[in-house]
Structure 1
Amino acid sequence: MADVHTDKAPESEEPQRHADPRRWRALILLCGLQFMILLDMTVVNVALPHIQDSLGFSESGLAWVVNGYVLMSGGLLLFGGRSADIFGRRRLLLIGVGLFALSSALCGAAVSQPMMIVGRIGQGIAESIAAPASLGMIALLFTDPKERTKALGAWGGIIALAGTSGYVISGVLTDVVSWRWIFFINLPIALAVLVLLPRMVSESRMVRAKNAKLDLAGAVTSTAGLFAIVYGLLKAAESPWGSAPVVLPLVVGAGLILTMLIIERRATDPLIPLSFFANRTRTVINGVALLFMAAFISYTFMMTLFEQHILDYSPLQTGLAWLPLGIGIGIGIGLGTAFVPRVGVKAVAGVGYIGAGVGLALTSMITVESTYFGGILPGMAVFGLFAGLSMPAATNAALHGVTAQDSGLASGVQNTALQVGSALGLAALVTLALRNAGEQIQRGVAAEIATTAGYSTALRAGAVLMVLGGVLIFALLERVATKLRDPVAETVEQAG
């Protein structure tokens, strides 16, 4: 039996079976926090040229404004998730929010390149602490199957809405005020969470044997391995795949992850119990999440460049151009939340992935002559609708069978998959686009035509990844019962 203890009864061994009356208010607050955190993954993209001019970044140095964040968060998420389980989810969340606020203030006030990069690294560390703890809380607050589906649907939607809204908010603030406000805007949200969260959520942590020791060896090898893998993927965006800067960290990272698996298999109190990955539903959905994020992030990144560099949109126009994607995702989330209890996780997630792939295929037909309504919007609408459709199902599957003991670990694994998938997309698909364009330019093709053709090639590759993800879901995902049981009250949940 998985047990949770609270501030009121720290030694209690009874699971929290009764719904917390504060749960919906807590969900709103936690979703607002997650929106703020994920916003900073994309909000800098539109403002990068202005940050570069203001602080004098070189092209290679500017990449670390993005990479510093991704590297730290991707490398530390698993450790952050398990730390939340062990030391207390509310405590880790508040620590992460405080660090995020300080780091955001540092970025907004940056007067030098090191100051900006240190701030972005701090934001990445803060996300690795706060995000797993936050999702872990939701898994414990909502134990009723219908309510949990709605809560996780809202949570999954926040991931995509933050990604697309980042371009809108960044464009508005950069054009109207200053790029510094894309960081300062985080401060009131963080303050609200720090003040209100302790009143809405009780502390919870996993129950451990009194003589249990923290698995430091597992923590070090898993964190270092993820660092190396994410770093190698990021380096692939600027170096050939077979070059030492790419291959060496990937090999080292794989070796460290293998070492971690050996350590965890022998550990008496493992940081990451290998039995966690025995659940095929969770393993499959986290695997295809890599494909989803690789396609999603590269799509938003490349289309932002296409709109600004080829169609000559301003930052504000670029931001507003993404609004239909957010609307489509919102509609898709509503449909997905309604369909999951009726037809199951497998069908909804599979259809969502394949439909999103069709949307990317439509977008890949862009040319230098394309208009927004004729060339961009149709594919965006289809992609947004089906991507949103898949999100409630995917988030449910990622937490399938999760107990109170492992809720932080489960959310850490999911967030790690999303981060590594983002790095993979930037490394593979964006690089594919740029290199394809470079080859055409060398053959005498006009730069704008070659660049657009490169984007089209990469978008088609993204469409293939999305469809492949859908096929894998239909082929490998277990048929999850639509009536999910209480993850707190049951240690193991078998697929229906």
Structure 2
Amino acid sequence: MTTVDSGTSKGAEVPQPEPDPRRWQILALLSSLQFMILLDMTVVNVALPRIQDGLDFSDSGLAWVVNGYVLAAGGLLMLGGRLADVFGRRRLLMAGVVVFALSSAVSGAAVDPWMMVLGRFGQGASEALAAPASLGLIALLFTDPKERTKALGIWGGIIGLGGTLGYVISGLLTDLASWRWIFFINLPVALVVMFLVPRMVTESRMVREKGQSLDIVGAVALTLGLVGVVYGLLQAADHPWGSTQVLLPLLAGVLLLVVMVLIERKVSDPLVPLSFFANRTRSIVNFTTLFFMAAFISYTFMLTLFEQRVLDYSPLVSGLAWLPLSVGIGTGIGVGTALIPKLGIRVVVSIGYIGAGAGLFLTSMIDVDSSYWGGIMPGMLVFGLFAGITMPAATNAALHGVTVQNSSLASGVQTTMQQIGGALGVAVLVTLAIRDADDAMGDGVSAAVATTEGYGLAFRVGGALMVLGGLLLLALVEKVDTELRDPMAETVAGSR
């Protein structure tokens, strides 16, 4: 059975007359799938040193294990939402599961770096296909506002748990078995989902109006443009900035991004209407999101390498060492939510950015003799707490001034900017750390000391980006209504 709209308004759908009696079981199924997909965004971090040794990645090439995922997810997310609306959410969900299973198998069986990177691109693409489709299905399953709020709370909690457990699960599997099992463990989950979804989930889609187009060219131009820019930046770790190896991919990437903007101006149904950025608050928040995620993702990337390469932590110990970050973020989200009605979104988000920057400056003081309790954990707790404070305020600011119909677009843009920021951050800050370490070793400094100094420099730059983002938000963001919204509820409402 396929549910389509029979009205004349664009994007309208006929609500289900009676709630599906299996809706909670379906929610558990969809949440489990999204848990596994998002788990793979963080689960590789602890395994990075073992993956580097096993596949002979260079220091700069290792960044693609992270960037392959986030570039595909960020570049294709908006297209994935549109495809789900047009071709059917269940169909796109199934396609995402198939891509997820195949790409996990490729990553787990990788014998060369290119296989791992290809698999990671596939995993990112699976998130871009599955996440919007899953949210759309939840919107249709839970038509009662109270039930929907509860369902979205469960959904968000399970996804958050995936981010928290990713480090621990990675450490356990890598230490006790092999890094390959962080990918192979996905296969039985994918098989169960592929068996159950056609039997439990009803198809739903929107009627495609005459003349309505899919901006596939724009999405491809965005993704390839970002790949070109990131590739050029990572090449700068091993080549001079003026070399062909750096300039050619950079210029090609920038050209493709310009083409993408021109496409968005011309097509009748763009992925992201440029008028969306006319709102100053939304534009500034999405711009500073690049700073936030650049610092956040590069922090987890480099601190993991420092723990295992310099301090000689095992993968299991390294995974457990990340638990204070999760505690800090969880606490910060609660504090930030409580502060918004009292201080306002602009002040809270600015405090969060600046405080997270302070946490990175604390972390940058590490050296080769640092202990976990005195050298790593203090900065981690400060960073996690203030990063958590930032999250509810930034999400609400990203939805400032949007209508219910545009809330899906606003949420999608915010998520896309998060992925892009993470990719650019790893490319720029890891390159900075590698070049600084190489220069120090050229002056006779030991590899361990030089590497640590390089990471410290990158952490300071990340901290400066956080502080700059906080100051920009404080100076340029409008005074936003302090009423805390449920952005997830608005997002799925906009998909109806």
Q: In the TM superposition, what is the alpha-carbon distance from 1:316 to its structure 2 partner?
A: 1.2
* Equivalent position of 1:448 in the other structure: 448
Map 1:328-339; keep pairs closer than 5 Å.
328-339=328-339
For residue 262 of structure 2, give the secondary structure of its aligned residue in structure 1: helix
Task: Give yes or no for contact 2:63–2:427 (8 Å, CA) kept in 1.
Answer: no
SS at 1:179 equivalent: coil
The equivalences for 1:474-489 within 5 A come to 474-481=474-481, 482=483, 484=485, 487=490
Three-state SS of the structure 1 residue aligned to 2:429 is helix
1:415 matched residue in structure 2: 415
Aligned residue number for residue 383 of structure 1: 383
How much does 1:183 deviate? 0.9
Q: Deviations over 1:86-111 (max 9, x none)?
A: 43444423321231123213333446
Any conservation in 2 of the 1:107–1:120 contact (CA below 8 Å)? yes
Is residue 365–residue 375 contact of structure 1 (8 Å, CA) maintained in 2?
A: yes
Q: 2:437 — aligned with what?
A: 437
What do residues 408-436 of structure 1 show as CA deviations (whole Å, max 9, x unaligned)?
54444223212221222212212222222
AA at the equivalent of 2:438 = G
Using the TM superposition, give the Cα deviation of residue 334 of structure 1 relative to its aligned residue in structure 2, in angstroms: 2.6
Q: 1:182-221, aligned counterparts within 5 Å? A: 182-191=182-191, 193-194=193-194, 208-221=208-221
One-letter amino acid matched to 2:345: V
Which secondary structure state, in structure 1, belongs to the residue aligned with residue 43 of structure 2? helix
State the 1:437 CA deviation: 2.2
The amino acid that maps onto 1:317 is: V
1:285 aligns with 2:288: no
Q: Deviations over 1:47-75 (max 9, x none)?
A: 34434555566767655544443443343
Number of the residue aligned with 1:393: 393
Matching residue of 1:3: none
Q: Secondary structure at the match of 1:178?
A: coil
Give the match for residue 346 of structure 1.
346
Residue 397 (structure 1) shift: 3.1
Q: SS in structure 2 opposite 1:468? A: helix
Match of 2:125 in 1: 125
Task: Please state if 1:428 is matched with 2:423.
Answer: no
Whether contact under 8 Å (2:76, 2:219) holds in the other structure is no
Distance apart, 1:350 and its partner CA: 1.9
Q: Using CA pairs under 8 Å that are at least 6 residues apart, name the structure with larger relative contact order, 1 or 2.
A: 1
Partners of 2:477 and 2:147 lie apart in 1 by: 21
User: Conserved in 2, the CA contact under 8 Å of 1:437 and 1:454?
Assistant: yes
Instruction: Report if the CA contact (8 A) 2:308-2:314 is conserved.
Output: yes
Q: Say if 1:139 and 1:148, in contact at 8 Å, map to a contact too.
A: no
Q: Tell me the distance in 1 between the aligned counterparts of 2:279 and 2:419.
A: 21
Amino acid at match of 2:278: A
Contact 1:89 1:408 in 2 (8 A): no
2:321 corresponds to 1:318: no
> Counterpart of 2:355?
355
User: Is 1:245 aligned to 2:240, yes or no?
Assistant: no
CA distance in 2, matches of 1:455, 1:488: 38
Larger deviation, residues 109-118 vs 164-173: 109-118
What is the aligned partner in structure 1 of residue 6 from structure 2? 11
Equivalent AA in structure 2 for residue 440 of structure 1: A
Once the 2 structures are TM-superposed, how far is the Cα of residue 360 of structure 1 from its aligned partner? 1.0
In structure 2, relative to structure 1, the CA distance for the partners of 1:134 and 1:294 (3 Å cut) is: farther
Cα distance in structure 1, aligned partners of 2:55 and 2:369: 35
Q: TM-score, normalised by structure 1?
A: 0.82
Q: Which moved more, 1:359-368 or 1:264-273?
A: 264-273
Question: 2:145 matched to 1:175?
Answer: no
Q: How does 1:235-314 map to 2 (within 5 A)?
A: 235-314=235-314
Q: Distance in 1 between matches of 2:388 and 2:435?
A: 31
What's the Cα RMSD here? 3.9
178-187 or 13-22, larger mean C-alpha shift:
13-22
Q: Distance in 2 between matches of 1:458 and 1:146?
A: 45
TM-score (norm 2): 0.82
Q: Which moved more, 1:102-111 or 1:320-329?
A: 102-111
Indicate if the aligned counterparts of 2:411 and 2:491 stay in contact, CA closer than 8 A.
Answer: no
Question: Per the alignment, in what secondary structure is the counterpart of residue 172 of structure 1?
Answer: helix
- 340 and 469 in structure 1: CA distance in 2 versus 1, 3 angstrom threshold: same
Equivalent residue pairs, number = 485
8 A Cα contact 2:4 2:14, kept in partner: no
Contact 1:356 1:387 in 2 (8 A): yes
Query: Deviation at 1:351?
Result: 1.8
Deviates more, 1:466-475 or 1:314-323: 466-475
CA distance in structure 2 between the aligned counterparts of 1:113 and 1:68, rounded to whole angstroms: 12
Aligned equivalents of 1:280 and 1:32: distance in 2? 37
Question: Aligned with 1:359: secondary structure?
Answer: helix
Please, which runs of 5 or more residues in structure 1 have no aligned partner?
1-5, 492-496
